[in-house]
Structure 1
Amino acid sequence: MTGTDPARKGGAAELFDAIGAGYEEAFGRPPMVNAAVRDLIEVLPPGSRVLDLGSGTGRPVAADLAAAGHRVTGLDVSAEMVRIAREQVPDADFVHTDLRQWHSEPSSWDAVCAFFPFLQMPRADTEAALADIAGWLAPGGRLALVTVPSDVEDVPVEFLGHRIHVTSFSAGALLERVRAAGLVVTETRSETFAPDQPGAEAEEHLLISARKPG
């Protein structure tokens, strides 16, 4: 079992069950996530089907998209996060599952949000997830992806008082993988974000906006 397996001690499920609402308190509304959600609300037709991977507490992503009239389904590996999200965003649906074990019909989503869900997954799993996302998107569908870009693999770090293992890609390598999945990158943005938490270090947030041809 690798350090990025959710079943391992310190993995994603255990981590976010423990953090719960503290994640929202620390991270609030990261500007890159806010920008990505605003962009989707501007371009998506009313009532669009939106899948939110790693939906967390449901705020701000699912809450804002549902308030804009879209049909939102959130997936999260943490049972506690799903419980909180269902209470906070009753107008969206939330499923307790590992996105790697979840299946959807081809072309069934108008947009997919992926805001930091891959940082505790092996690189091969992220590549497979991007291919799945491309299949799930309807022609012309949108992917909004935000991550912490870095050329690291299974590196131990401290995160909100917990020791976890992180894997990521450099910005260029991740862009290559988004394109390899069959998506067209339409925009990238990057900026530094400092969590509202004592001792938390600033980190780079990269937004990749992409579209499925068709």
Structure 2
Amino acid sequence: MGEEATAEELFDALGAEYEEAFGARPLVDAAIRELVAELAPESKVLDLGSGTGRPLASELAAAGHHVTGLDVSAEMVRIAREQVPAAEFLHVDVREWESEAASWDAVCAFFSFVQLTRAETEGLLGKVAAWLKPGGQLVLITVPGDIEDLPIEFLGHAIRVTSFAPEDLENRVRAAGLEVTGTRSEVFEPGKPGAQVEEHLLITARKP
């Protein structure tokens, strides 16, 4: 498969190609609609792994919310700033970023954990729980699986991925101090040759 790419290298290389392959994901669209319906006006939303800014940051900003997106890829941040000027995007590694406690109405993490270790994911979930205001929401979407440091090919790039079985991930969300409010999954087929069919898992949670 060639030399393995870090998350930064992968998404710098993919750029807009990622949106072409993965832009239309029904579970993502449903999660965004549900979040928009529940948020109070002008809520503060943090988007971990914001990518091109579409559709999450774009739709939340259009609904009048204050969105801050974090991404390890400078190219993704550049694209997002062009596509969604109403939101703020920062070129940072989410593992190293810090925020004030109880400062966010919602935190979204769409497919942003799969290149983290399990320990890093657990640590980040703990941070998210601290960052959320009481009653604040976590909306998490991932590709579930009992896999750790698995080498795969993703859109022509060699990477390593880690995930959790659905029940294990739910347990880690609860262990971070959040109440799981819903879960559901679907099978998704990307619209690009060479991209693999994958299961998508949605977990919603709330800070007590």
**What is the TM-score normalised by the length of structure 1?**
0.95
Aligned mate of 1:158, from 149, 153, 161: 153
- Determine whether 1:38 maps to 2:47: no
Structure 1's unaligned 5+ residue stretches are: 1-7
Cα deviation, residue 9, structure 1? 4.9
CA–CA separation in structure 1 for the residues paired with 2:34 and 2:178: 17
Q: Over residues 72-91 of structure 1, what are the superposed CA-to-partner deviations in whole Å (9 max), with x where a residue is unaligned?
A: 00000000000000000000
- One-letter amino acid of the counterpart of residue 67, structure 2: V
Cα distance in 2 for residues equivalent to 1:14 and 1:176: 31
SS, match of residue 100 in structure 1: coil
1:35 shift after superposition: 1.2
Identity %: 67
TM-score, normalising length from structure 2? 0.98
- Taking the TM superposition and a 5 Å limit, the aligned residue runs for 1:91-102 are 91-102=86-97
RMSD between aligned alpha carbons? 0.9
Q: Deviations 1:4-39 (Å, cap 9, x if unpaired)?
A: xxxx95110000000000000000121111111111
Tell me which stretches of 4 or more aligned residues in structure 1 moved more than 6 Å. Answer: none
Q: Which runs of 5+ in 2 are unaligned?
A: none
Query: Partner residue of 2:106?
Result: 111
Aligned length in residues: 206
Q: CA–CA distance in 2 between the matches of 1:15 and 1:57?
A: 13
Q: Secondary structure at the match of 1:74?
A: strand
Q: Please say if 1:182 is aligned against 2:177.
A: yes
Q: Deviations over 1:121-172 (max 9, x none)?
A: 0000000000000000000000000000000011010101101000000001
Partner of 1:85: 80
Structure 2 distance, partners of 1:54, 1:60, is 12
After superposition, give the CA deviation of every residue in 1:51-75 in whole Å (9 maximum; x if it has no partner). Answer: 0000000000000000000000000
Describe the SS at the equivalent of 1:174: helix
Instruction: Name the structure 2 match of 1:191.
Output: 186
Distance 1:193 1:128 in 2: 28
Which of 194, 201, 210 is the matching residue for 2:205?
210
| Partner Cα distance (2:72, 2:207) in 1 | 26
Q: Which residue identity lines up with residue 53 of structure 2 in the other structure?
A: G
CA distance in 2, matches of 1:163, 1:31: 26
CA–CA distance in 1 between the matches of 2:121 and 2:201? 16
Instruction: State which of 59, 63, 76 in structure 2 corresponds to 1:68.
Output: 63
Equivalent pair of 2:72/2:91 in contact (CA under 8 Å): yes
Q: CA deviation at 1:93?
A: 0.0
Return the letter of the residue paired with 1:65.
L
Equivalent position amino acid for 1:125 in 2:
E
